A = this chain, B = another copy of it.
């Protein structure tokens, strides 16, 4: 059965978004990219900065509260419904909860045909790319590099440490049914 959803999981600055755009370019059919950054932007400014919502600490730690979790769960249902309605979807996420995050996605995606992809990047390299991006808050790359992969099961893993995003995308595309 044809792949309906590609889930890219990796830490901040691991290169997920670049791979997602390359996947859109190399796959013959149109795929939509939905990412957690888009969800955060859809939220009220107050939720983006509160303990009940999501907080970005000066050291790069990201703390997620119950209000964020509730909205995120509904958003996951929406992404799944979009796929069931026929759109091919690439999810660009960072599993801050590791295996628990994957379980939330599995529950939402149900019987959809999913390709689970781990996007790895050596921590020191991701930290350097975070600096090159010029974000004011740094530290996310380091704190997430390993944590987001804890207990997560993949169909495929790519590593951007020494491989370009386009080549990673081609490897993933070869696994899309």
A70's closest neighbor in chain B, by CB?
Answer: B86
- Copies of this protein chain in the complex: 4
Query: Could you give, for residues 7-19 of chain A, a 1 whenever the CB lies within 8 Å of some chain B CB and a 0 otherwise?
Result: 0000000010011
A31's closest neighbor in chain B, by CB?
Answer: B44
Query: Could you give, for residues 28-56 of chain A, a 1 whenever the CB lies within 8 Å of some chain B CB and a 0 otherwise?
Result: 00111110001101111111110001000
Interface magnitude class on chain A = 35 or more
Residues of B near A138 (CB, < 8 A) are 45
Q: Does the CB pair A42–B47 fall under 8 Å?
A: no
Residues of B near A81 (CB, < 8 A) are 77-78, 80-82
Q: A21-B134, A24-B43, A25-B45 are in contact. List 10 more A-B contacts (CB 8 A).
A: A21-B131, A25-B44, A30-B46, A30-B47, A33-B42, A34-B42, A38-B38, A128-B164, A128-B167, A129-B165
